[in-house]
Amino acid sequence: MKRTTRALALAAAASLVACGGGELLAVLQIVTPLGGSWATAGFKTNLQFTNLQPATQVFLTKFDVTANVGSTEGVCGDTLNNGVDLVGTLDNGKVVLRPVAPAGAPNCIEATFTDLRKFDAVALGGQPARSYTNGRIDVQMREGLWVSESGTLSLKFDTPSSVDNFTGANTASVTGCNVTVPAAKVNFQGQMEGFNEATLRRPFIPKLVNPLNAAQEYFTQVELVDISTLRLLNAGGQLVTLKRQPNTNNVTC
């Protein structure tokens, strides 16, 4: 782990359509969480990143990773789903993994995260290209503070730590407070919907409200763009972007 920045960033192309056509004009930064179980179609191969530290995931772009993979497809040499321990690195959204033993084993997984709950592995070691998806997003909302680009809004979340991909009424409770004025913190609550696999909408909080008066809405349309970025509408209907920053003063609600 060698390079510190605000967050683990992976570049994904976002095309902006100009008047004359659909030329690729910009690149969108996407940051992805690692927790949970990543599986291929039919759950024939399951991979879990191990020994995860939330602060490492949200404040570094490059770090060493460990994982365990169980497979009936021969991934990393496992055909009986006995499990193989792996080591490797995550570098700006690209992950490479190899067996712990024997020493010097070649990579058996090389992949790129494409959204918050999916990474695509290339064909390698006689295995075809395949995608891995996760049924739960490791959002770790309580890690750090969420601060607007202007510095005029600062939020502290206590929950949730993770949320299931949205499949109907499945949500996770959200609690936290507005700490823009530390001496006059304002509590809020809401419900987070997980990643919607049908529409590809990212984890989403329809509204954050006063816990004592749900009719009083503080923020609406709160979207987790990536593990370090939130977008929301304030009470005045203005779009605000917040970035996750280290909570150096241990601010609490």
Provide φ and ψ at 230, rounded to 5°: -120, 145
Whether residue 123 has pLDDT greater than 70: yes
pLDDT tens by residue, 193-228: 999 988 999 999 999 999 999 999 999 999 999 889
Instruction: Kindly tell me if the per-residue pLDDT of 8 is higher than 70.
Output: no
Question: Is the pLDDT reported for residue 2 higher than 70?
Answer: no
Nearest by Cα to 98 from 64, 129, 130: 64
Nearest to 63 by CA among 8, 115, 112, 110: 8
Q: Is 144 helix (H, G, I), strand (E, B) or coil?
A: coil
Please state, rounded to an integer, the average pLDDT across all residues of the chain.
Answer: 87
| Average pLDDT for 90-114 | 95
Inform me whether the pLDDT recorded for 7 exceeds 50: no
Inter-residue contact 166 to 195 (CB < 8 Å) = yes
pLDDT tier, 59 (very low <50, low <70, confident <90, very high otherwise) = confident
SS3 call for 57: helix
- Can you give the pLDDT at residue 11? 32
